Amino acid sequence: MHGRRLSLAILALAAVSGACAPGAASRGSGNIEHPTGASLVLRVQTGGGFIAPQSTLGQIPEFSMFGDGRIITPGAQPAIYPGPALPNLLVEQVNEDGIQAILEAARRAGLMGPNATYHAPCISDQATTTFTLVADGQTHVVSAYALGDSSCDGADTQARAALAAFRARLSDLASWLPPGSIGEQSAFQPTGMRVYVRPLAPPADPNLEQPPIDWPLPQPLATFGTPDPTLPDLRCGVVQGTDLAALLTDADRANQLTPWRSEGREYTLIFRPLLPDERGC
């Protein structure tokens, strides 16, 4: 009898461990399967258009939901220039009922079918919004150029309108998710930070010159990270652990134009917090 109880306990523990393992599927009666843990379930990201490539380095996806129910979104930034060096990221928690409601809304918006790209040929130099959904054992990717612009009528009008409506709903989850399924927003604390390094370019307006901050880590900025293969004079590295804590102390008081001084030279840094599913540069 004792051996049977022990075997049952081991089986129960294994079942719980499997349910919590990152990447495992969530199953339930009528539920849409999705990854668990820190694995990505849904991401909405807008990028491209007529902008310089360097300006996209610090961009954060507008919506990221993970298998453990965390939802990470950019928060408001003060309307000043230069703005803070660190982006303002917010996290809120949804339970399984909330995840299922979002997945069902995504299905109705057309995100569980074949991958698709919707063009708007009558508009130029606009951004593209990409929806990435991981559900029912598949990764679905749907992109829409100039989403929300209805000036181009065509065969994709209905699909584009459904995507735009879903995107708008994601910005106001509390108004339609099941009662009690979503928590309060709080500041997201990253465990890793991408740091992009390039030689300092003096501001066009001398009145915007900023006092420098000494780079606090032992690795000099001249050799920090690795060179970017597509952008000259740009390097990227990841800071984690105690190094990240030391860097954040200084980055909290820096702004976008702050020079960072290392071995007698000055650099411009761009900070990009890593989201739970991201690694490296």
* 261 close to 213: Cβ distance less than 8 angstroms: yes
Which residues share a beta bridge with 134?
Answer: 139
- 50 pLDDT band, cuts 50/70/90, is low
pTM of the model: 0.86
The residue that leads in pLDDT, 150 or 206, is: 206
* CA dihedral of residues 266, 196, 125, 278 (deg, nearest 10): -170
**pLDDT for res 5:** 35
**pLDDT for res 153:** 67
Question: How many other CB atoms are found less than 10 A from the CB of residue 42?
Answer: 24
Assign domain 28-175 to its CATH superfamily: Mago nashi (3.30.1560.10)
* Token output for 262: 């290392």
- Of 252, 279, 215, nearest to 223 by C-alpha is 215
* 46 close to 148: Cβ distance less than 8 angstroms: no
Tokens 């800071």 correspond to what residue? 239
* Token output for 259: 């020079």
DSSP 8-state class, residue 26: P
* pLDDT tops 90 at residue 25: no
Residue 89: exposure state from Cβ atoms within 10 A (0-12, 13-18, ≥19): middle
Cis peptide bond prior to 82, omega within 30° of 0:
yes
- Of 129, 92, 141, 134, nearest to 277 by C-alpha is 134
* Token output for 46: 């807008």
Over residues 153-168, the pLDDT tens digits come to 677 999 999 999 999 9
Size of the chain in residues: 281
Spell out the domain ranges in the chain: 28-175, 190-273
